[in-house]
Amino acid sequence: MKVIVCKDYDDMSKKAADLVISNIKEKPQIKLGLATGSSPIGLYKNLISANEDGEISFKFAKSVNLDEYIGIDPANDQSYQYFMNENLFNHVSFADTKLPYAPENDEKYAEEYNKYLDDFGQRDIQILGIGENGHIAFNEPGEVLNRRTSIVKLSQSTIEANSRFFESEEDVPKYAISMGMSDIFNAKTIILLANGKKKHDAVKKLIEGNTIDPKLPASFLSLHPNVYIYVDEEAYRG
């Protein structure tokens, strides 16, 4: 894992975007794995600017996303589909984009997405954020981690962290459909973004920890050969 300590959120977003931009220049038909949440918004802004400036184009690029809440319509402004539209897809034109979707708790939707991922093939880059509890996608800390896309129950820590986007904690969906660890690993390069003091504990354990532990799902990233961790000063030093 290569750790790149950045001054602040903007610096983190710019540096991570530069890596994505250079990859798109090299391979316009790039396959991207995308994340939602606060962490990648700045990165997406940089990609949008580079696209507007004519530096890169997404004309041949394809993307898949990590996860989506269950029970929220894609048109709802709390859905991850809506988030992606607002923060990236409405601004640049991809050849193809896809998010997992499950209107109800039924593993058949996870199987459908796994089939889609198998046909999609290996991603060139997977972008990740990290939960305060060390989750990646919605692979929550526990005794076991899912290999493939599954219907997952969100942990209390995640529900609390995500309640900032909802009117109240009760409104936060309790279930999601999420790629599993082996899906995340099926990317040539992984970029993990972590900013802010709240991420310090998880980041410290990830960088300094010596074990791979399902109670810190991000720790599995140390098994992947090509991981870049872009971390701002606050998340790095606490």
**Residues of this chain that bind ligand F6R (CB under 6 A):** 35-39, 66-67, 129-131, 135-138
**Closer CB to ligand F6R, 50 or 203, in the complex:** 203
Q: How near is the Cβ of 137 to ligand F6R at its closest, in Å? A: 4
> Which one is catalytic: 23, 51, 135, 162?
135
> Which one is catalytic: 23, 51, 67, 232?
67
Active site residue 76: no
Provide long-range contacts, Cβ within 8 A and 24+ apart, for 20-28. Answer: 20/47, 20/125, 20/127, 20/191, 21/46, 21/47, 21/50, 21/55, 21/56, 23/124, 23/125, 23/189, 24/56, 24/57, 24/58, 24/61, 25/55, 25/56, 27/124, 28/56, 28/57, 28/59, 28/60, 28/61
CA-closest candidate to residue 68, choices 134, 154, 135 = 154
**Closer CB to ligand F6R, 136 or 172, in the complex:** 136
CA-closest candidate to residue 138, choices 168, 116, 113, 170 = 113
Residue number of the CB atom closest to ligand F6R: 129
**Closer CB to ligand F6R, 28 or 198, in the complex:** 198
Q: How near is the Cβ of 91 to ligand F6R at its closest, in Å? A: 18
Q: How near is the Cβ of 201 to ligand F6R at its closest, in Å? A: 13
> Which one is catalytic: 68, 124, 140, 232?
140
Q: How near is the Cβ of 40 to ligand F6R at its closest, in Å? A: 7
Active site residue 135: yes
> Which one is catalytic: 87, 133, 139, 146?
133
Tokens representing 65 are 């996303």
Active site residue 224: no
Active site residue 133: yes
**Closer CB to ligand F6R, 61 or 137, in the complex:** 137
CA-to-CA distance for 237 and 91, rounded, in angstroms?
Answer: 34
Q: Which residues are marked as active site?
A: 67, 133, 135, 140
